[in-house]
Amino acid sequence: MLRLIRAAALAAAFVPATLSAHAGEHADSETIGWSLEPQIVLPLVAIMALYAAGWLRLAQRSRRGGRRLRRKGLVFVCGWLVLAGALLSPLHQGGEVSFTLHMIEHELIMLPAALLLVAARPGPVLLWGLPRGTRRLLRPLIAAQLWRALAGPITAMAVQGVVMIVWHVPALFDLALRHDGWHIVQHACFVGSALMFWWAMLASEDRPGGALVAAACLFATSMLGGGLGALMTLGSSPWYDAYARLGATPFGLSPVEDQQLAGLIMWVPGGLFHLAAALAFVARAVRLAPERLDKGVSRGGQAA
């Protein structure tokens, strides 16, 4: 266990430019560094450019609410930076030789990055970044009831749960490690399901009883993710052949120890993140309960 803790501290300080290890045939010849693949960089740049264009248009038109727009913009930029850092930093390439680094990357994508991006409520800003004709075409789709049904808290929780379980099946995880195209699909599933999940959680808090439903969904997700992480931590053999074949990680951990540390990260910090969010929703429900009760009494009195 002490060895795992020391490795965790080393992984947390992972900013090297000269780790000479890589997955597959080139394990001894390539250097782990910042990832600048166009298929990752271009979508990130396009999203930020679209948001910046929409933000500037709204800022020019908005006489009131400028402070709120700036605050939301700052939250969006923070979320984008976390997402870009996870996908472009040495964590991304390091994940090919260490399951622990791969897990840290996934946790950053699905937890703080997705939550911050959704908390910024970027929809209107991104819409205003598009040409006028495109905005008119997209408005009916955005308002469609089908989307609202699919993005309900229970549905979103189920979708994210399925994504987490399916992409940790050994055959599919190894497929993503071996093929860049499948790796992109894996990350797209993680990002998309996480954005849908957090959007559904935050959108539900304004509905009567919605905060408690969101809290229950977050608690269930913490149990699911924590349970999956616990299985990895308590496992006595490596799940993924791609990592098992590599032998020791750059931090000196065996494949089993590397998997156990990755599972511990998913189990404890990941589970605590969802649990803390669940408690925040419970606190909000308790805080709003007297106000909603007063409103209900007042409406009942008026009806009488």
pLDDT band at 26 (very low <50, low <70, confident <90, very high): very low
Report which of 89, 86, 79 is spatially closest to residue 113, judged by C-alpha positions.
Answer: 79
**C-beta separation of 265 from 103 below 8 A:** yes
pLDDT band at 19 (very low <50, low <70, confident <90, very high): very low
Judge whether 299 lies within some domain. Answer: no
Task: Print the domain residue range for 145.
Answer: 33-290
By residue count, the chain amounts to: 304
How many angstroms separate the CA atoms of 287 and 256, rounded? Answer: 46
Judge whether 110 lies within some domain. Answer: yes
What is the chain's mean pLDDT, rounded?
83
Judge whether 97 lies within some domain. Answer: yes
How many angstroms separate the CA atoms of 162 and 209, rounded? Answer: 25
If you search the block for the tokens 């209107």, which residue do you land on? 124
Q: What is the pLDDT of residue 31?
A: 58
The structure tokens listed for 263 are: 């599972």
Least confident segment among 27-31, 110-114, 211-215, 285-289: 27-31
How many angstroms separate the CA atoms of 78 and 74, rounded? Answer: 6
Whether the pLDDT of residue 51 is over 90: the answer is yes
Judge whether 105 lies within some domain. Answer: yes
Q: What is the pLDDT of residue 27?
A: 38
How many angstroms separate the CA atoms of 205 and 282, rounded? Answer: 10
Judge whether 38 lies within some domain. Answer: yes
Query: What pTM was estimated for this model as a whole?
Result: 0.83
Whether the pLDDT of residue 6 is over 60: the answer is no
Q: How many domains does the chain have?
A: 1
| Burial zone of 264 (CB within 10 Å; 0-12 exposed, 13-18 middle, 19+ buried) | buried
Judge whether 303 lies within some domain. Answer: no
Judge whether 54 lies within some domain. Answer: yes
What secondary structure, in 3-state letters, does 198-240 show? HHHHHHHCCCCCHHHHHHHHHHHHHHHHHHHHHHHHHCCCCCC
Judge whether 113 lies within some domain. Answer: yes
The 10s digit of each residue's pLDDT in 52-71 is: 999 999 988 876 668 889 99
